[in-house]
A and B are shown apart, each in its own frame.
Chain A
Amino acid sequence: MTRLLELLKKESLAVAVLALYGWAFSVSPARAMRALGAAASTLGEVALIIFSVFLALGLFGAFVDKQAIGRRLGEGSGFRALLLAAGFGTILVGPVYAVFPLLKAFREHGARPAVIVTVITAWAVKLPMIPLEMRFLGWRFSVIRILLTLVASVVLGLVMEPLLSWRLPATRRRLQADSVTEGAEG
């Protein structure tokens, strides 16, 4: 019973869409069939791209040496570190639940807050998925969106940093204590 509930929760979107189709078929079977046909044909057209996207995701996950990049991100402090961060964010793959803890580890290894924000923002580029985006929205749309996202990632990092370091005195003392321990470890 709990397993069934878990499954329903995990696939809540699929359940909701099934319910919507149930409603659609009760309202107008002809239009519901048209919707189903449109869905199947769109899925069929891009199935190969989606398959390739996930093959590429696997490759990125296995061959991008996250720890080595993390060390380099921690060493650099200038503008170049932000460019490196934007590049890393672009090739970084994985769900939120894997990426955030990884970036937290980078932060603990000495990466600037701006670097972390830039990586998260550039992560929105989703390099392995670009062919899918181009297929649906056109290459011009995709290229412009990606370039602007990369510019935004560096700007957002630089804007966030002073906002983050502006802290209550108590928090500042705690953070200073943290950074002293980090320095001792390094």
Chain B
Amino acid sequence: MHIDSTGFVYLGVVAAAYAALGIKAPKKVRGAAGAGMKQLGSILPTFVAVFGLVGLFEVFVPPALIERWLGSSSGVGSLFVGAAVGSVAAGPPPAAFPIAATLLEGGAWPPAIAAFIVSWVLVGVASLPFEARTFGWRFAVLRNGLSFVVAMLVGLGVGLFL
């Protein structure tokens, strides 16, 4: 196991931000750290579970299966599958990335994976009733429907520029 430099660099940046803001508002900064850690604590079981799932994926899901549903040969079909899986999945946003990486390694088409990530955060089948209660059904259905299309378009764009 190796810890790569990204973590250290990011921790350094965040620590610097804390120090800079802490000079002016030490109380607020302490509150921020507390809130962040509290959030991390509440999400931790889900996180560990997601990584457990990623491990199972790597070992038990045959690449042929990923290839078939999310591979480049299925084209638009795999874009749709990626966006659909992302829409139904209701997990914390940062959990999308390890899952996406495993799928990519298993032979998934990058545009389909980009669609998966965008729809993971933008389209929420599970939160649809709440969104409808807040903004009305028309807003909720339109926004989620169009976001599904946006997820696929962003996916295609990623394929174009990558």
Contact = CB atoms under 8 A, between A and B. Distances in A.
Interface stretch (A70-78, A80-88, A156-164): A156-164
Contact of A100 (B15, B97, B118, B131): B131
Nearest to B104: A137
Interface string A92-133: 000011001100100100000100110011011010010111
A90 interface: no
What is the predominant secondary structure among interface residues of chain B facing chain A? Answer: helix
A23 B4 CA distance: 33
Interface string A38-63: 11111111111111111111110111
B3 A48 contact: yes
B55 A144 contact: no
Interface residues of A, number: 75
Contacts of A121: 122, 147, 150
Interface residues of B, number: 76
Interface string A124-148: 1010010111111100110011001
Interface stretch (B40-48, B62-70, B71-79): B40-48
What is the predominant secondary structure among interface residues of chain A facing chain B? Answer: helix
B100 interface: yes
B160 to A, nearest CB: 9
Given A58-B33, A63-B28, A13 B91 contact: yes
B60 A42 contact: no
Contacts of A173: none
Contacts of A58: 31-37, 39
Closest 3 CB pairs of A and B: A58-B36, A39-B55, A48-B7
Interface of B: 1-4, 6-11, 13-15, 17-18, 21, 28-29, 31-37, 39-40, 45-56, 58-60, 91, 93-94, 97-98, 100-101, 104, 110, 113-114, 117-118, 121-122, 124, 127, 130-131, 134-135, 138-139, 142-143, 146-147, 150, 153-154, 157-158, 161-162
13 contacts: A13-B53, A20-B56, A45-B3, A49-B6, A56-B17, A56-B36, A61-B36, A62-B28, A63-B32, A137-B100, A144-B162, A148-B158, A152-B153
